[in-house]
A and B are shown apart, each in its own frame.
Chain A
């Protein structure tokens, strides 16, 4: 991955994809060195096929590079925090509870995506996040009977 003028990030898709597949295949082959034939025959064959296909992509990427745009600066500035926020949400929502985590995450996501960084915009985002979260909480728990995590917030902790 390289940035040319700092504005657009491109990647040689065959080289990157092939490299990733070869690494995955190598890990699988090392892990699959157990001798139990019937247990490991299929993972071994699949890993070998994956390694061959990955190597083919590496060769193709080296001989005829297929450079693709991965991000521009603006896209990266939005997607990367969004992806990190998603992981944090996934970790916290079972511990802190669905309602508070979702309100904060939803409001933050909406605020960032609206691109109006004012107090009024933050307030609107918070209202949207709260309303959507509470409506969905009722729908998930009462219609679909999903036992959403209540976390410490609901337990008064």
Chain B
């Protein structure tokens, strides 16, 4: 653990973290561009870097983009990323009162607190969970895959049915290539390039980056109006004092963000809305929420930034991504030959702890950015689309080509990009498809190995159900499928917003 911290404090790492966090904040600050897209575009270029440097860049970009989403949320009432939706509730009213700087500093401080607490949870919880995963057999891996898939289907999409369908489509696509059992070719249609299966990173870049760029192109006539923004002295100290004097908001929100982030696929958008809802419930002045209170901005931002590192816990420990950006981070790990699970901590402890510390420390970079660079970041929302959209597409093409210098990967990326754009028009979100692609091999290998266990004389029920961890995972799977109904009953005020925010982070 300390080896990772000392590795993280090397000058090269500190510089990488600072630049990537700033870069993430810039991308997150452009309305319509998500943290997932920022990480997806970056992943291919980390291939040439040392694994630790590449992963630090990914961690910084992810956390930075989470904060960046708050900038247009506060200043132009447009969330830069879906996770910043709840930030608009009080951030924009503060700006309309001439307190835009208050909103941005509150977002910065609470983002830092959230990232720090979520990062500490990642640091402390993922190693024991990875150790625990050694008790998992094939049926448990089958069920954890099913649980992850139903979670994202129910939470990351407005429609459970379409979410499940997207997950099934992703799983079917994951079977392209050589079958794990008996090495038969499946769905290759005579193309040797498909024998190795669909390349993970080009698929992710296509699904997450290309549809966003095409949406920007489609809406390029709509230009946001940038507000008048002035800075005054003493605001940072004033906001910091207000938040420190009422620390429960930050602590509770970071805790909610951490717990929600750990749940496979729940992610930052859900965390920030639930946290905002709880902040209103627990506040002594609930009537001030929605009218411009620093507490409201803090509740949303602390939770969304705590959920970001926390979503890496199931990824690093079990190989099950906790959010779409974590799914992309999995692509980066695999690109560097790092396989999540207990072996990752046993064999590559230095790299994995450096990555974890980068997410803990990125919070401090965010705080510095919010205090020193807000006046410049304000301009991001007006970045010209005619320069930005072609740039995203260019990075997508070059990044896909860069991994193996293979034109087929560019074809895969473009096909997934256009498919993702069309499916988006039919109200399917990319998250479940990507989760299906990633969890498909886990579920398949769990299923085939479990069926082999059934063949040895044990009953289906003994193999698939009557095992303590499997039974718990089945219950969680059933709970996640019924979550949309439960959430409508438990959180009637937040449910519509959660459904609306159910996009990729």
Chain A contacts to B: CB under 8 angstroms:
11, 13-14, 16-17, 20-21, 24-25, 28, 31-32, 34, 36, 38-43, 45-47, 49-50, 53-54, 56-57, 60, 66, 68, 70-71, 74-75, 78-79, 82-83, 86-87, 89-90, 93-94, 98, 102, 105-106, 109-110, 113-115, 128, 132, 136, 140, 143-149
Contacts and interface: CB of A to CB of B under 8 A. Distances in A.
Contacts of B168: 46, 49-50, 53
Contacts of B401: 93-94, 146, 148-149
B182 A38 contact: yes
Given A82-B214, A86-B393, A140-B402, A53 B161 contact: yes
Contacts of B375: none
B214 A102 contact: no
A144 B48 contact: yes
Interface centre among A16, A17, A41, A54 (most CB of B within 10 A): A17
Interface stretch (B227-235, B270-278, B332-340, B443-451): B443-451
Contacts of B221: 74, 115
Closest 4 CB pairs of A and B: A113-B386, A17-B426, A53-B165, A109-B390
A19 to B, nearest CB: 10
B428 A148 contact: no
B175 A106 contact: no
B471 interface: no
B181 A38 contact: yes
Contacts of B402: 140, 144, 146
B165 A54 contact: yes
A109 B389 contact: yes
Given A53-B164, A57-B161, 20 more contacts: A16-B426, A20-B426, A38-B181, A38-B448, A41-B451, A43-B186, A46-B172, A70-B425, A74-B221, A78-B220, A86-B210, A90-B397, A98-B398, A110-B387, A113-B220, A113-B386, A113-B389, A136-B398, A140-B402, A144-B45
B175 A43 contact: yes
A114 B184 contact: no
A109 B386 contact: yes
B169 A78 contact: no
Interface stretch (B92-100, B261-269, B407-415, B458-466): B407-415
A75 B387 CA distance: 18
A93 B186 contact: no
15 contacts: A14-B426, A17-B428, A25-B172, A32-B186, A38-B181, A41-B447, A46-B171, A53-B164, A68-B426, A75-B219, A87-B414, A113-B385, A113-B386, A136-B398, A147-B405
Nearest to A79: B218
Given A106-B394, A113-B217, A128-B387, A86 B414 contact: yes
Nearest to A128: B387
Contacts of A98: 398
B240 interface: no
Contact of A78 (B218, B387, B414, B421): B218
Contacts of B417: 86
Interface in B376-401: 385-387, 389-391, 393-394, 397-398, 401
B252 interface: no
A13 B427 contact: yes
Contact of B427 (A38, A66, A128): A66
Interface residues of B, number: 58
B157 to A, nearest CB: 12
Interface centre among B48, B168, B401 (most CB of A within 10 A): B168
Interface in B188-233: 210, 214, 217-221
B70 to A, nearest CB: 27
B427 A17 contact: yes
B175 A42 contact: yes
A50 B169 contact: yes
A109 to B, nearest CB: 4
Nearest to B399: A146
Contacts of B218: 71, 75, 78-79
B249 to A, nearest CB: 38
A57 B162 contact: yes
Contacts of B447: 41-42, 45
Contact of B214 (A13, A83, A144, A146): A83
Interface string B405-438: 1010011011001100101011110000000000
Given A79-B217, A83-B418, A145-B48, A42 B390 contact: no
